[in-house]
Amino acid sequence: MSMNLKDKTLILSGELTRFSVPQLFKELKKLPKSEIREIDLDNVNKIDSAGVAFLDELMQSSKTLSPEITRANESVLKAINTFSSLKIPNSSPRQEPGFFERIGTALINFKTETVQGLFLTSDIIFWSVVAVFNRKSQKKGVITQQCLLIGADAVGIISLLSLILGLILALQSAAQLRQFGANIFVADLIAISMVREMGPMMTAIIVAGRSGSAIASEIATMQVAEEIDALKVMAINPLRYIVAPKFNAMTICMPLLVIISIVVGVIGGLLVGIFYLDLTIMAYFTELFSVLTTKDLIVGLSKSLFFAWVIVIIGAYYGFNVTGGSEGVGKATTRSVVASIFAVIVLDAIFSLIYML
């Protein structure tokens, strides 16, 4: 392959292929920087996509607006017309949506997601109630298995964090209570805060991060792998087969986990009362039971039930609406955990306002 510049006409000859293009680029740099008006391809007998790309680059970098390709044979012209990118129209940049367009899109998406979430919630509750009386389309012992995964395996981490939480609450309040000789009231603070607020909310947050993420990732993986579609083909309702056992197991386990959290948190406060405030065990528990009422326990356990249901429903929603393969599974799992924790905190605030009325 050779290249010569004569009277502002670039003459190419030989084979213009991927093997000769690198050398042509080197020779092109040595030529004088004069305008190229014509590109003579009369002696070019073979050209491929790399050669066409070389011509495109040559025409775009030339000082003239449009060098003319001359005396090319039919096969060379056909290859140029097939592989040249110069005739592809430049796509105009996408215009960014305006402020009101973004607000409208967000409102439409919110409405769509709300409607889908309500339908999913009603279906999950319906099939979960049906599953209590009719175990059709469920594996034997699946609720027990889910109780072990959601409840029993979470006892350790919930107990540890509840103990630390009880210690922190007691230590933070003890320093102030000692100044007024009100050491005994640390039992009141621990009892009310653990039973009504911290116990249910912290347990729900831990379960949302641990079990809620597992629910979302499991359903999302099945959705990506088309296992959900396979269940539908076999006339098996995915909500009844997958979600209902988790919903029922969460309903059973969450109040029990909250009770464990409350008991362990109270023990953490007891340790501070004994070793830091010089309280006796009898005095601590006498004060604790004197301030607690049945209403406090009902408030804490009722909150835990709603937290449990919200965690399962949000995990199922993001799992069933996953898109994008394995990367989508990770995003769906992350979104479900964030949404579950946010929903738990908002519900806790709403219930606190309701019970204060």
- Find the length of the chain: 357
- Number of neighbours of residue 82 by Cβ within 10 angstroms: 9
Strands (E), 49-206: 68-70
Segment 133-145 mean pLDDT: 80
Concatenated DSSP letters for 16-77?
Answer: ESTTTHHHHHHHHHHS------EEEEEEEEEE-HHHHHHHHHHHHHSSSS-PEEES--HHHH
In angstroms, the CA 208 to CA 310 distance is 9
pLDDT tens string 175-196: 888 878 788 888 888 999 999 8
Q: Choose the weakest-confidence range: 13-22, 222-231, 266-275.
A: 13-22
Q: What is the pLDDT of residue 62?
A: 61
Q: What does the mean pLDDT of the chain come to?
A: 86
Assess whether pLDDT exceeds 70 at residue 147. Answer: yes
% of the chain surpassing 90 pLDDT: 41
Q: What is the pLDDT of residue 255?
A: 94
H/E stretch holding 97 reads none
Structural contact between residues 35 and 59, judged by C-beta atoms closer than 8 angstroms: no
Assess whether pLDDT exceeds 60 at residue 63. Answer: no
- Number of neighbours of residue 343 by Cβ within 10 angstroms: 18
Segment 193-207 mean pLDDT: 92
Q: Choose the weakest-confidence range: 87-91, 164-168, 242-246.
A: 87-91
Q: What is the pLDDT of residue 347?
A: 92
Amino acid present at 13: S
Q: What is the pLDDT of residue 320?
A: 92
Q: What is the pLDDT of residue 200?
A: 93
Placement of tokens 């392959």 in the chain: 1
Structural contact between residues 297 and 197, judged by C-beta atoms closer than 8 angstroms: no
Q: What is the pLDDT of residue 173?
A: 87
pLDDT tens string 11-54: 788 888 888 888 887 877 776 655 677 787 878 888 888 888 88
Q: What is the pLDDT of residue 107?
A: 93
Taking the C-alpha atoms of 123, 125, 126 and 130 in order, what is their torsion angle to the nearest 10 degrees? Answer: 130
Helix axes 74-83, 49-61, angle to 10 degrees: 80
pLDDT tens string 301-357: 999 999 999 999 999 999 999 988 888 899 999 999 999 999 999 999 998 888 776
Q: 70 pairs with which residues across the strands?
A: 40
Q: 79 pairs with which residues across the strands?
A: none
In angstroms, the CA 296 to CA 347 distance is 17
Q: What is the pLDDT of residue 91?
A: 65
Q: What is the CATH number of domain 2-83?
A: 3.30.750.24
Q: How confident is the model at residue 1 (pLDDT cuts 50, 70, 90)?
A: low
Amino acid present at 92: S
- Three-state DSSP class for 226? coil
Placement of tokens 């030529």 in the chain: 31
Please, what is the Cα angle at 280 between 265 and 296, to 5 degrees?
40
8-state DSSP, 154: G
8-state DSSP, 88: S
Q: What is the pLDDT of residue 86?
A: 75
Closest CA to 8 of 29, 33, 28, 26: 33
In angstroms, the CA 116 to CA 123 distance is 11
In angstroms, the CA 285 to CA 165 distance is 18
pLDDT tens string 282-297: 999 999 988 988 888 9
Query: Domain spans of the chain?
Result: 2-83, 105-356
8-state DSSP, 98: -
